[in-house]
Structure 1
């Protein structure tokens, strides 16, 4: 069986699809993973064979991110539109690839519309594997608007539905209108590095991990927040690219700053602070760690669901002041209920079918 994975146009979708792609290959099947040029090294970093499927550049992606509307509805429409453009640009290279390496199944991410369109062209089954808990259907209206001429050429009223829909959300966080999907256990995957003992060993103080994304904290605000957090007598780990880490280390002696494999670090943490990205959220849930979601990047119900369940707290952009963050961390550390609820969700994830158990389902679909 030949399986083509086309997860998405950024590193995180690559990592979210890597466990299933690896399971398919470990079962003896052939696997290729497609992406735009700038994610190809990321595909290779998780041991999968990368193939370029679109002329889109990182500069074009950055320009889109920089011009994203603030209004949530318009933002979703814009995101759907750009993924539709990627689908249109990718279809010809994918068809050319298929002339030489014809897949028996095409697996795509929730917003990667080129996967079902390619499968329709080839007359083979398609699989939709969600990246995380975020309901990607909210991006469909913007995509359909852009895809309409192509759909008309193909005599399609809409993007073809997948033959197999794989969901990774723990059951307790499924929304009432969730699409019926085959559940699959979400497993973290990311690039690795030589480990130091502190990365996998818990210390004698609570550990707080903070992602230093540009939409979360930067500059003086980040320095002030870390200094305030230090008053809680916690160990602080800041995940940041090396160029940012270098600038911060001089001002923050004793704070571990830099890139760390989060799949290794997460189980040693007591709190994970981030901006609401799906990968960090799922890694925290998988490890059973309470979250503080500050200024959520995506205005979706997914953030509120984990807060309502009692495994996280959230702060809006107006509330994102160092004293509020410190107070929220103190609440998460002092109230054991947050940890208990987070561990409940971790157990739910662990009980879902592993990627290796999905491979026979795909074999039957292709067969």
Structure 2
């Protein structure tokens, strides 16, 4: 069987698909991954075969444009304005960027990007002739190929957020379903893009935190994949009996929401005096920002790039930005979480985990040191949260493994 993955241009959107790709390849099936050129190396690092023929707007710019719209709509949560959509520099006034003019000037370019990407996707699929398509939520090329070739196309979720959710705080009708500005579905005579195109959804969420779905749900056990890295050397933990807290922050948050959203210094201040051993995982500009701040307080260690799933099982609490990779890794380990969410799917994910009792959800814009400290103290002392986290881990472990799902996909393709 030939299986075509189509992915958007941000690794966090498709990382949950990697173990299924491994399982398909181990079972003797051929897997190709349609991606943008910037995802060639990440896909290769994951042990999968990239086909870098897609085009897309830079995800950081796309996120900043969304945040600018939120500010115009009056739904921006911080007192500071969002960063400039194109440069990322701080704004003193919304008048410094003319969204309407930018949209007019870049309309043809944006249409050209999606037109070329959809045409390249269909052309590749017609040559390679896959039996099945698996895609992430931000990739509209996946369901397009499924319709054009009349083969099953399965949406794989990256966490407990799905196509029937809406963006919190956004104008009515905003959802996580990608749009089709070039009219590719109509051009190929297969209707139009919308939530109705999703007929099968692979969902790794624990039952207690599942998103609502109108499509057929295929449950799968979440196998964490946090990118390449090495197992850290074995080290003795801190004081005997001291709680161990892992702090991990997504590399995209500061770039999209601006420096005001970088909550790690606030988190470290909040943890001071609690007697906890604190492991901080950062990369890129966030790591440099933390290193420039000077020496860390006693008991706080800034870790080298280390896959999160290697550290979380030995922790008593994970603090993160509400991203699916962090949340699902902590769920798989049965560890309570504190999610300091900023927007988009982070808020949905944080809310679902909190609703299931395995986490506390605090808006980043309201998360001062006092609020963080109160949430951490509650999480470390409330046995109900630990019990809920273990229960959700058991729910995930009861789901079929990616290897077990392969036979179901083969039957669906046939």
Contact 1:206–1:269, Cα closer than 8 Å, also in 2 = yes
* Structure 2 residue corresponding to 1:67, chosen from 65, 68, 75: 65
SS at match of 2:372: helix
Q: Any conservation in 2 of the 1:216–1:295 contact (CA below 8 Å)? A: no
Alpha-carbon deviation of 1:243?
Answer: 4.7
CA distance in 2, matches of 1:295, 1:14: 20
Q: Does 1:261 align with 2:307?
A: yes
Match of 2:290 among 242, 248, 256: 248
Alignment correspondent of 2:90? none
Deviates more, 1:220-229 or 1:120-129: 220-229
Matched, 1:185 2:221: yes
The answer to whether structure 1 residue 93 and structure 2 residue 129 are counterparts is no
Instruction: Output the CA distance in 2 between the equivalents of 1:325 and 1:73.
Output: 29
User: Is the aligned partner of 1:344 residue 2:344?
Assistant: no
Matched, 1:279 2:325: yes
Give the superposed CA RMSD: 3.2
Structure 1 position 209 matched with structure 2 position 284: no
The secondary structure found in structure 2 opposite 1:359 is: helix
Secondary structure of 1:67's partner? helix
The change in CA–CA distance for 1:177 and 1:113 in structure 2 (over 3 A counts) is: closer
> Which residue of structure 2 lines up, in the alignment, with residue 42 of structure 1?
42
Verify the 8 A CA contact 2:318 2:338 in the aligned structure 1. yes
Cα pair 2:341 2:363 within 8 Å, conserved: yes
Residue 170 in structure 1 maps to residue 206 in structure 2: yes
- Asked whether the equivalents of residues 291 and 313 of structure 1 are also in contact (C-alpha less than 8 Å), the reply is yes
Contact 2:261 2:364 in 1 (8 A): no
Change (3 A) 1:111 1:137: farther
**Matched residue of 2:66: which SS?**
coil
Other-structure match for 2:32 = 32
Task: Provide closer, same or farther for how the CA distance between residues 83 and 129 of structure 1 changes in structure 2, counting only shifts above 3 A.
Answer: farther
Three-state SS of the structure 2 residue aligned to 1:362 is helix
Instruction: Give the superposition deviation at 1:246.
Output: 4.5
- Residue 238 (str. 1) matches residue 272 (str. 2): no
**Distance in structure 1 (CA, Å) of the matches to 2:163 and 2:129:** 28
For residues 301-360 of structure 1, the C-alpha deviation after alignment (integer angstroms, 9 at most, x for no partner) is 442222122211121244210111011111111111111100100000000011111111
**Do the aligned partners of residues 3 and 73 (structure 1) sit closer, same or farther apart at CA in structure 2, a change above 3 Å counting?**
farther
Structure 1 residue aligned with 2:91: none
TM-score, structure 1 normalization: 0.86
Paired with 1:83 and 1:272, the residues of 2 have a C-alpha distance of 39
Change (3 A) 1:221 1:105: closer
Deviation of 1:361 after TM superposition, in Å, equals: 1.3
SS in 2 for 1:307: helix
Q: Report the Cα distance in structure 1 between the residues aligned to 2:323 and 2:262, rounded to whole angstroms.
A: 23
- Contact in 2 for aligned 1:277/1:298 (Cα 8 Å): no
Q: Tell which deviates more after alignment, 32-41 or 60-69.
A: 60-69
Distance 1:28 1:5 in 2: 16
Tell me the CA shift for residue 111 of structure 1.
2.9
* Structure 2: distance between partners of 1:4 and 1:220: 37
1:105-150 deviation per Cα after TM superposition (whole angstroms, max 9, x unaligned): 1111123111111122223221221121112334686767644733
Structure 1 residue 155 displacement after superposition: 3.4
Aligned to 1:270: 316
Higher helix share: 1
Task: Say if 2:160 and 2:352, in contact at 8 Å, map to a contact too.
Answer: no
